[in-house]
């Protein structure tokens, strides 16, 4: 097994994919979260500002989903094929959500009419919720495992996807995104308009913590296979521990008015939670419930070594490049969003 710095290519690609997925969750997480809470903002001007805060960056954030899908397709095509065909209906709904979210953001201000604006506000909010919930649902099911046959294809019924664990993960994900989005908006706007967001942020934190605790307890009791890695290597408990610490840090920072630090903490929470999930599932990509021997792992579900080699080179060149100019774009739009600023062309 060819290695780079002592780690085999498959493991490297698992890390790359995980990093891209985390990047997506962190970036699109805040604009999805902002969308989910959109209808909680009552005034039209507040809503316009909220949209303008994410306007220039949401498309670039969404691209990470495309990159992640591509990374999965290229590096672990067996997993890609199994997951995407298994979750056919949920993914179709997810895609419609994506379409309408993008359209809603772009079209909302194209016509100056109150009903038009309010209609698109609702579409934006509902579609953001659909996206966040379906992402959580898919993640929950993949982590908990789905029935697979010997050809590593889905052998079950898609209605089984609406089980307690997956629904828990869906709600937890959405709550976390809403918190993350609220902090982003607080960071990017002038506080006078968003006193309510301050209160929301604290409620979302509590909601998230409760969901997270329930999910963790459920995992410990009902999903033993997920706990084996952690129990065998207790040193890795540091990741969930740090996640708890960083989420605890959030309300403190918000109270102090240090929104940038709160945002960094919520970002860290997302990353640390995904790392914990990665530790839990490793080396499986899609666990097969019922017949674990049919699971898709990073070894039996991967592309050839030559392909992984090419992909790692692409990633090595591409990721720093994207990070560089994305930083530049975010920097261009740094600072608060103002209501009297001309929007777009």
Partner 1 sequence: MSIGIGLMLVLFEAKFLATGDAIYEKATRFWLSIFALVFGMGVATGIIMEFEFGTNWASYSRYVGDVFGSALSAEGIFAFALESGFLGILLFGWNRVGRKTHFFSTVMVFLGSCFSAVWIVVANSWQQTPAGYHIVGEGLKARAEVTDFWAMVFNPSSMVRLLHVWTGGFLAGAFFVLSVSAWYLVRRRFEPIARPMFKAALVVATFFSLFQLFMGDRSASLVARYQPAKLASMEGHYDSFAVADMYLGGFVDNRREEVKGLKIPGGLSFLVYHDFKKPVTGLHAFRPEDRPSQVNTIFQCYHLMIVIGMAIIGLTLLACFFWWRKKLFDHRWLLWAFVPGVALPELANLSGWFTAEIGRQPWVVYGMLRTSDAFSKQVRANQIIFSLILFLVVYALLFVLFIYLLNKKIVKGPEEANLRQKYLQSPLRDNPLLHAGRP
Residue closer to partner 1, measured from CB, 123 or 268 = 123
Residue 345 CB, nearest approach to partner 1 (Å):
4
Q: 141 and 90 in contact (C-beta within 8 Å)?
A: no
How buried is residue 233: exposed, middle or buried, by Cβ count under 10 Å (0-12/13-18/19+)? exposed
Q: Is residue 315 a contact point for partner 1 (CB under 8 A)?
A: yes
User: Which residues, numbered 287-306, are part of the site for partner 1 (CB under 8 A)?
Assistant: 303-304, 306
Residues with Cβ within 8 Å of 35's Cβ and at least 6 positions away in sequence, in order, are 101, 124, 125, 127, 128, 129, 181
User: Which residues, numbered 25-84, are part of the site for partner 1 (CB under 8 A)?
Assistant: 45, 55-57, 59-60, 62-63, 65-67, 69-71, 73-75, 77-78, 80-84
User: Which residues, numbered 75-114, are part of the site for partner 1 (CB under 8 A)?
Assistant: 75, 77-78, 80-89, 91-92, 95-96, 98-100, 102-103, 106-107, 109-112
Q: Is residue 147 a contact point for partner 1 (CB under 8 A)?
A: no
Residue 318 CB, nearest approach to partner 1 (Å):
4
Residue 331 CB, nearest approach to partner 1 (Å):
11
Q: 192 and 166 in contact (C-beta within 8 Å)?
A: no
Place of tokens 């990017």: 188
User: Which residues, numbered 108-137, are part of the site for partner 1 (CB under 8 A)?
Assistant: 109-112
Q: Is residue 8 a contact point for partner 1 (CB under 8 A)?
A: no
Q: Is residue 214 a contact point for partner 1 (CB under 8 A)?
A: no
Instruction: Return d(Cα 291, Cα 7) in angstroms, integer.
Output: 29
Q: Is residue 228 a contact point for partner 1 (CB under 8 A)?
A: no
Q: Which stretch binds partner 1 (CB under 8 A): 227-235, 245-253, 272-280, 335-343?
A: 335-343
Q: Is residue 2 a contact point for partner 1 (CB under 8 A)?
A: no
Closest CA to 140 of 204, 67, 62, 214: 214
Q: Report whether the peptide linkage leading into residue 90 is cis, meaning its omega lies within 30 degrees of zero.
A: no
Q: Is residue 341 a contact point for partner 1 (CB under 8 A)?
A: yes
Q: Is residue 154 a contact point for partner 1 (CB under 8 A)?
A: yes
Q: Is residue 339 a contact point for partner 1 (CB under 8 A)?
A: yes
Residue 190 CB, nearest approach to partner 1 (Å):
7
The half-sphere exposure of 329 on its side-chain side, counting CA atoms within 13 A, is: 14
Q: 218 and 200 in contact (C-beta within 8 Å)?
A: no
User: Which residues, numbered 231-260, are part of the site for partner 1 (CB under 8 A)?
Assistant: none
Q: Give the burial string for 162-178 (b: 16+ CB within 10 Å, else e).
A: eeebbbbbbbbbbbbbb
Instruction: Return d(Cα 226, Cα 215) in angstroms, integer.
Output: 12
């Amino acid at each position: 097994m060819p290695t780079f710095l002592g780690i085999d290519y498959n493991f490297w690609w698992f890390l790359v994919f995980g990093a891209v997925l985390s990047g997506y969750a962190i970036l699109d997480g805040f604009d999805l979260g902002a969308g989910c809470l959109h209808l909680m903002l009552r005034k039209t001007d507040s809503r316009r500002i909220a949209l303008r805060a994410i306007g220039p960056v949401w498309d670039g954030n969404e691209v990470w989903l495309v990159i992640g899908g591509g990374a999965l397709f290229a590096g672990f095509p067996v997993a890609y094929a199994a997951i995407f065909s298994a979750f056919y209906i949920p993914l179709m709904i997810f895609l419609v959500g994506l379409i309408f979210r993008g359209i809603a953001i772009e079209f909302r201000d194209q016509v100056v009419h109150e009903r038009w604006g309010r209609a698109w506000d609702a579409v934006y909010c509902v579609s953001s919720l659909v996206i966040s919930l379906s992402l959580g649902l898919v993640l929950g099911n993949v982590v908990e495992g789905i029935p697979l046959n010997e050809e590593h294809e889905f052998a079950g019924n898609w209605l089984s996807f609406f089980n307690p664990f997956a629904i828990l993960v869906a709600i937890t994900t959405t709550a976390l995104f809403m918190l993350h989005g609220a902090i982003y908006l607080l960071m990017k706007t002038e506080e006078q308009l968003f006193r309510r967001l301050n209160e929301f942020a604290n409620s979302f934190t509590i909601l998230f913590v409760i969901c997270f605790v329930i999910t963790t307890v459920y995992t410990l009791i009902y999903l033993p296979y997920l706990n084996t890695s952690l129990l065998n290597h207790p040193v890795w408990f540091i990741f969930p521990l740090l996640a708890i610490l960083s989420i605890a840090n959030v309300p403190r920072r918000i109270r102090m008015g240090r929104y940038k630090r709160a945002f960094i903490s919520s970002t860290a929470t997302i990353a640390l939670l995904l790392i914990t999930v990665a530790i839990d599932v490793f080396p499986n990509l899609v666990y097969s419930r019922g017949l674990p021997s049919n699971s898709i792992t990073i070894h039996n579900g991967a592309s050839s070594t030559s392909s992984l080699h090419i992909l790692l080179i692409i990633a090595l060149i591409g990721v720093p490049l994207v990070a560089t100019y994305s930083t530049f774009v975010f920097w261009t739009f740094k600072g608060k969003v103002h209501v009297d600023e001309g929007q777009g062309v």
